[in-house]
Each structure stands twice: as C-alpha cells, then as structure tokens.
A = this chain, B = another copy of it.
C-alpha cells in the first residue's frame, strides 16, 4: 500500500478511537459489562440473533418458536435502560462509519458508474 494511504488509515483509526461517539460507546459497553442483569439480557439477545443468522446463512429451517424467542429477547433487551442506550450508540456509530465509508469509496463508485453509463 502507498505510504500516504497507510498513514491516513492510521490517522483515521486514531481519530475514531478518540472521537466522542466511540468514547460514549465504550462507556456504554463498560456499564453493561458491570451490570449482571443487563449483561445477561444482552448475551441472550445476541445469541438468539446469531443462531438465527447462522441458520439463514446455511439455509437451515428457522422454527416459529425461535423467531418468537429472539423477538422476546430483543424486547427485554430494549426495555433495559443500559441496553437501549448501548443500542442507540451502536446505531450512531454505524451511521458515522457508513458516512466515512461512503466518502472514501466515492472514487471507485464514480469509476464504476461512468463505465456503466457508456453502455
């Protein structure tokens, strides 16, 4: 990789680590980790999501009880204040990272689009 790109990627890494949104997210994870109930609700929710996701990827049958269980786990997680806070911060961080990605990928996107338009 060119040194300039490598340097910029590392600067971006440091800036993400230092930014307010990331620091808040880190604190929210810490708060969940130190709260037995929040932590259990979170892992239940995440494990249910992951099991369903794996089944989707492998094309295995997802039973109605599993969907119901995952929905219940999500509702219980959302009702927990520390977890609803964590999820809101996760979403904000996702949007921020998607913005960065969108800006940095513009050259490629333009290249493909201009190639398509010539058809």
User: Is A57 among interface residues, defined by CB-CB distance under 8 A?
Assistant: no
Task: For A1, list chain B residues within 8 Å (CB).
Answer: 96, 99-100
Contact pick for A12, options B12, B19, B20, B93, CB 8 Å? B12
Oligomeric state, in copies:
2
Contact pick for A107, options B13, B43, B103, CB 8 Å? B13
How long is the Cα–Cα vector from A19 to B70 in the complex, in angstroms? 46
Residues of A within 8 Å of B, CB-based: how many? 40
- Which residues from chain A sit less than 8 Å from chain B, CB to CB? 1-2, 4-6, 8-13, 15-17, 19-22, 25-26, 29, 32-33, 43, 93, 96-97, 99-101, 103-108, 111, 115, 118-119
